[in-house]
Amino acid sequence: MSDQRGFISADQFHPDPYTQSRTAERTLNAAIVHADISRSYEEYLEIFDEFYADDVEGSSESTEEPIRGKAGVRSLVFGFLVPLHAMAEVGGVSISVRQTSIPGDVVDATHSAWTLELVGAAGKVCTVSWRTFRKWNESRVVLEHHYDHQQSGEPLSDGDLRSNVLEPPLGFHKSS
């Protein structure tokens, strides 16, 4: 005979910080990977607004001082997304994002590896990769640091965009 009771632990409804940060990390990364920059950059900003704390701190190897506060980091993200969106929507550049989790055992801290691949209209490829460290407070990112930036292939140029992008519209005449 068993004296085990059929009670549900309260911990099932409030996961430990380690589980909570891992779940939030997987959810955030999946949202980023599945968003479509050629359709809009706003989707990425909505993801940012959902997952990042008001007092988030952002940094990278190339910045001397971290950027503090959601508005400042959001502005940086916006400045990164808009050119990508324009290259994809108008310039015909194919853009893909891949992410790989890096195992860790620190509560509320996660690492991941990212790859951004840009393929120009004529097939030229530029791949940028980096790693991301995030510190979590419950389901919100409070610190994000990018490191180990690498690039393979030459940066895309005007010649890698759809050919009609840089030509004046029909009926438009240059003054001489």
Mean pLDDT calculated for residue range 105-130? 95
DSSP 91-152: T--EEEEEEEEE----TTEEEEEEEEEEE-TTS-EEEEEEEEEEEEETTEEEEEEEEEEEEE
Q: What is the largest CA-CA distance in the chain?
A: 98
pLDDT of residue 159: 86
User: Looking at residue 1, what DSSP letter applies?
Assistant: -
Which pairing describes strands 125-137 and 109-119: parallel, antiparallel, or unpaired? antiparallel
Average pLDDT, the chain: 88
Tens of pLDDT, residue by residue over 148-164, are 999 999 999 888 888 65
Instruction: Give 16-153's CATH code, choosing from 3.40.50.970, 3.40.1160.10, 3.10.450.50, 3.40.1180.10.
Output: 3.10.450.50
Tens of pLDDT, residue by residue over 59-81, are 999 989 999 999 999 999 999 99
Mean pLDDT calculated for residue range 14-38? 91
Which pTM value belongs to this model?
0.82
Cβ-in-10-Å burial (0-12, 13-18, 19+) of 60 comes to middle
Mean pLDDT calculated for residue range 162-173? 54
How large a percentage of the chain has pLDDT more than 70? 84
User: Looking at residue 16, what DSSP letter applies?
Assistant: -
Q: Which helix (H) or strand (E) holds 67?
A: strand 67-68
Domain spans in the chain, listed from the N-terminal domain onward: 16-153
